[in-house]
Homo-oligomer: A and B are copies of this chain.
Amino acid sequence: MVTYDLTKRGHLSLYEYLYQKIKDDIILGNLERNEKLPSKRALSEHLKVSVKTVENAYAQLLAEGYIRSMEKKGYYVNQVSQTNAISTTLSESTFKQNKEEYFADFTANDISYEQFPLSLWAKVMRETLSDYDTTLLNTRPFYGIEKLRIEIAKYLYRFRGMDVSPEHIVIGSGTEYLYSCLVQLFGDKAVYGVENPGYHHIVHIYNGHRVPWEYIDIDQFGPCAENLYQKSVNVIHVSPTHHYPVGIVMPLERRQELLKWVAEETERYIIEDDYDCEFRYSDKPYPTMQSLDCNHRVIYINTFSKTMIPSLRVSYMVLPEKLMERYISTMSFYSCTVSGFEQYALASFLEKGYFERHIRRMTKYYENQHKKVLEMFRKSALSKVSSIYEYPAGTYFLLKIDTNLSDVEIKWSAKEHGILLNCLSEYYYDNQQKYPATVIINYSNIEEKELERAIAELEKIFLI
């Protein structure tokens, strides 16, 4: 019988780890096509885990097509050719393998591409092409072209009230890339704090760079200093403007508490991820932690992939002076990862005021969409068995459902009804039962008709 050392699961939950190991064995051919898997009970006894754990792992494997269930017979390994293994794992969520298999995708914290002023952007790119002489060909400064850094500084001043020198701005091809740079910058002694629940990917980045990190539980205001002391971390990643997926806006007191914490030791840093700051509906945004910080220990980070278009890979960070110097002296050999052409085009888009205009229009658009979507959910029969947690920002909310289904069963049932969704529990590494049956509804990329149909399908699942 398959045997796995479950103590090696790191920060994964038991079921996630078990699912991962079995999946790997199927891909690697250790479990062969049509091989029968042990029954849930047998495997649970063998591995000394609960039947529920095995059940959840099997359900996930079923949902992703790695195994099939044959009535009264049990679970069998599906054929997964090498090529299939590649294509089935191509997208992060293997759920998305076949577009035909679903009509509504609530998992993508995405933007509405249709709203992007594509012709305006194409016009600016054409203009940039006309100016595209040999001076544009050369490699750019490794931290980005000056014109773009100036435009970003101006934008941050006008839009976020931040007083930032263009000399402290670093351009990179995506937030994940900039994170990799930061990890190289912080040096050997850094121990990283990861919000729990929070931004998944960062754990992969830390693991990829072999640096130590700790989960930091958040309360209703975000991470608190006490937890940071306790876990002895010295770098914490936060998104105070709008936490994903919980939606928290960190109140001023908590921001100040963290700024007090960061000031106490010279090598403590806060990474302020402001990726969603642009789309707020009602209240004015709080000042950023970067602008509240007198001790130069906050790294501000943001991206144009969310506000412009995802396929444009431009993010930026604002480094405190000391880190900027370290960056220059240790990492200047890296070429800037964004092409010169696109940096110039984006700078021009900002300079001409097109970006701000686009943001203002989108904020209005998302605000209306937010209202409309919430109303659709509130007016539906689904509201009898669910309640909504929402913040006046972003393009998602949480839906707490009154049901006996486990979270894996919810995902699976939804998938069978053509709907992709994630549960809040997936963003917790432990204590996944803290907020059961709480579904994250990312609605920005779903048409009204599909939404109506999705609500109707969800009703079928939860109102029986």
List CB contacts (< 8 Å) of A309-366 with chain B: 309-314, 321, 324-325, 328-342
Tell me the nearest residue of chain B to A116, going by C-beta: B137
How many Å from the CB of A305 to the closest CB on chain B?
A: 7
Tell me the nearest residue of chain B to A145, going by C-beta: B311
Tell me the nearest residue of chain B to A119, going by C-beta: B132
Contact (A204, B329) CB under 8 Å given A82-B321, A174-B337, A311-B137: no
Q: B137, A305: Cβ atoms under 8 Å? A: no
Most buried by B among A134, A136, A184, A341: A341
Contact (A138, B310) CB under 8 Å given A82-B321, A339-B339: yes
A201 to chain B: which residues have CB within 8 Å? Answer: 333-334
Tell me the nearest residue of chain B to A314, going by C-beta: B339
A337 to chain B: which residues have CB within 8 Å? Answer: 173-174, 177, 313, 337
Interface presence of A113 (CB below 8 A)? yes
Tell me the nearest residue of chain B to A341, going by C-beta: B311
Q: Beyond A27-B329, A137-B310, list 16 extra A-B contacts (CB 8 Å).
A: A90-B332, A113-B134, A116-B134, A125-B341, A138-B310, A173-B339, A174-B334, A174-B337, A188-B210, A204-B333, A208-B330, A209-B210, A313-B335, A314-B339, A337-B337, A342-B342
A188–B329 Cα distance when bound, in Å, is 27
Contact (A118, B91) CB under 8 Å given A126-B129, A204-B331, A311-B341: no
Interface presence of A264 (CB below 8 A)? no
Q: B209, A328: Cβ atoms under 8 Å? A: no
Tell me the nearest residue of chain B to A139, going by C-beta: B310
Q: B311, A140: Cβ atoms under 8 Å? A: yes
A126 to chain B: which residues have CB within 8 Å? Answer: 126, 129
Q: Which 4 A-B pairs have the closest CB atoms?
A: A311-B340, A184-B208, A173-B337, A139-B310
How many Å from the CB of A368 to the closest CB on chain B?
A: 21
A204 to chain B: which residues have CB within 8 Å? Answer: 330-331, 333
Among B90, B129, B137, B208, contact of A328 (Cβ-Cβ < 8 Å): B90
Interface presence of A86 (CB below 8 A)? yes
Interface presence of A122 (CB below 8 A)? yes
Interface presence of A176 (CB below 8 A)? yes
How many Å from the CB of A328 to the closest CB on chain B?
A: 5
A151–B462 Cα distance when bound, in Å, is 49
A324 to chain B: which residues have CB within 8 Å? Answer: 86
Interface presence of A114 (CB below 8 A)? yes
Interface presence of A380 (CB below 8 A)? no
A116–B138 Cα distance when bound, in Å, is 11
How many Å from the CB of A69 to the closest CB on chain B?
A: 24
A333 to chain B: which residues have CB within 8 Å? Answer: 92, 176, 200-201, 204
A330–B86 Cα distance when bound, in Å, is 12
Interface presence of A167 (CB below 8 A)? yes
Interface presence of A227 (CB below 8 A)? no
Q: A210, B208: Cβ atoms under 8 Å? A: no
Interface presence of A180 (CB below 8 A)? yes
A313 to chain B: which residues have CB within 8 Å? Answer: 173, 335-339
A163-205: contact bitstring with B at CB < 8 Å (1 yes, 0 no)? 0000100000110110010001000100000000000110010
What are 17 inter-chain pairs, A to B, with CB distance below 8 A? A82-B321, A85-B325, A86-B325, A86-B328, A113-B137, A118-B132, A126-B126, A137-B309, A173-B173, A174-B335, A204-B331, A209-B209, A210-B211, A305-B335, A313-B337, A313-B339, A338-B339
How many Å from the CB of A220 to the closest CB on chain B?
A: 28
